[in-house]
Structure formats: structure tokens, C-alpha cells
Chains A and B, each alone.
Chain A
Amino acid sequence: GNSVTQMEGPVTLSEEAFLTINCTYTATGYPSLFWYVQYPGEGLQLLLKATKADDKGSNKGFEATYRKETTSFHLEKGSVQVSDSAVYFCALDNQGGKLIFGQGTELSVKP
């Protein structure tokens, strides 16, 4: 079946450090891939998406590239800020809008 696996957290970084959160997936066909962010006490916000192989999604300095050969969609940011502290979820959509999420990775950025 379809599944998403993310690196375990929490991830703790200093401000301006480089961020990578790994995400791999298992799916048949060609799913769309997403990163969502959840701030404390809030719902999920779409951060970026990619709909086909080799697409790069980007937003607010975050990037992720859809790698079909490695079934991966790793999230990166060159210089994190304290305000980036949140839980990040990788997700796929392979069945008409039914998102399958990873378990989430908590990011904590210290000043």
C-alpha cells in the first residue's frame, strides 16, 4: 500500500543553520507529494508541493525535489529562523485527494 516515512525528530538547530528533513514514500503509480507545516495549536498549512518526477516545489525559502528514482522528497532550507519552529509533515496523494501523511518531524530552532 501507500505509505510515507519521515526522519524522526525532534530536530534542533541554531538559527541560520541548514535544514534537511528526509522523506521517503512507497506508492504505486505517480503520486503528488506535499510538505505541510503545523504550528502549535493550529491546523496544517501547505508549504510546498510537486506533482511529477523532477519537479521542485519551493516556498518561503524551503525546497523539495520529487525524486522518483529514490522515492524521496526531502525538505531543505538554507538558513532557518526561530519562526520556522513547527512540526513538518510529508504527504502523498495517490488516490484522488486522500492524503497519506508521515508521522511528522518536530523542528526547534534556537536563537
Chain B
Amino acid sequence: ETGVTQSPTHLIKTRGQQVTLRCSSQSGHNTVSWYQQALGQGPQFIFQYYREEENGRGNFPPRFSGLQFPNYSSELNVNALELDDSALYLCASSADRATYGYTFGSGTRLTVV
């Protein structure tokens, strides 16, 4: 069991740019969710992928998009970055959420300047 790995750990981008964050889940984890955690707040659900298809979305605009790949990795893409996108982005994966719940990665700290 290798856990959930996110990359990069820290990132600085300029307003208006695009960014791709990556997540590598454990083998067999066919569900992955992405969360945004602003400083001092609880994580907010962005979207979930199940077997490479989007399976629910939170209250985030379309410039937040994602992909899930057959090798249990996934991406979060954010276009036209805004200052308020500065946050910790967390990836969480599960093989069977009812039994095991979700395993979270350590996150990517994105700063938009």
C-alpha cells in the first residue's frame, strides 16, 4: 500500500494562468475526489470521479476540470486562475467508501499572485 501521493507540494502561479495538479492513488482505488481548503477553513468538495467518469460536482465554476486515468492517477486543472484560488488542494481516493472511507493525500499548496 503506497497511499495517495500529490504533486507538486507547492506551486506559485500568476493570475490568469492555468495549472494542473496531480494525484496518484492506491491500486484499486476507483473513486477519487478533489477538495479545496482555504486557509483556516474546512475542505470544500470540487468534484468526484468514478471509473474515469465525473460522478458529481460541487459549487465550482467550469474552469475547474478534472481527469481520471486507468492507472488510478488523476488531475485537477484550473484555468484563468484568480487570487481566490489560492488554497490547499486535496485529493482523496477510495476502493469502497462505505467500508474504508477515503484516504487523503498531503495536498498541493497553490498560491496565485
Residues of B within 8 A of A43 (CB): 4, 6, 90, 104-107
| CB of A9, distance to nearest CB on chain B (Å) | 10
Contact B42 A104 (CB under 8 A): yes
Q: Give the contacting residue for A97; candidates B4, B42, B97, B105; CB below 8 A.
A: B97
Q: Give the contacting residue for B101; candidates A42, A46, A102; CB below 8 A.
A: A46
Q: Give the contacting residue for B55; candidates A4, A89, A96; CB below 8 A.
A: A96
Residues of B within 8 A of A41 (CB): 106
- B25 located at the interface, meaning its Cβ lies under 8 Å from any Cβ of chain A in the complex: no
A29-60 interface mask toward B, CB cutoff 8 Å, 1 = contact, 0 = none? 00010101000011111100101000000000
Given contacts A43-B104, A43-B105, A98-B58, contact A93 B97 (CB under 8 A): yes
Contact A34 B101 (CB under 8 A): yes
Contact B56 A95 (CB under 8 A): yes
Contact B31 A44 (CB under 8 A): no
- B45 located at the interface, meaning its Cβ lies under 8 Å from any Cβ of chain A in the complex: yes
B70-99 residues at the A interface, CB under 8 angstroms: 90, 92, 94, 97-98
Contact A99 B41 (CB under 8 A): no
The docked-state distance in angstroms from the alpha carbon of A91 to that of B43 is 10
Q: How many A-B residue contacts, CB cutoff 8 Å?
A: 62
Contact A100 B101 (CB under 8 A): no
Give the number of chain B interface residues (Cβ < 8 Å).
27
Contact B107 A99 (CB under 8 A): no
Question: Which A residues fall within an 8 A CB radius of B?
Answer: 4, 32, 34, 36, 41-46, 49, 51, 89, 91, 93, 95-104
24 CB contacts below 8 A, A to B, read A32-B98, A34-B101, A41-B106, A42-B106, A44-B43, A44-B92, A44-B104, A45-B104, A46-B102, A49-B101, A89-B43, A93-B97, A97-B56, A97-B102, A98-B33, A98-B48, A99-B35, A100-B45, A101-B42, A101-B44, A103-B40, A103-B41, A104-B40, A104-B41
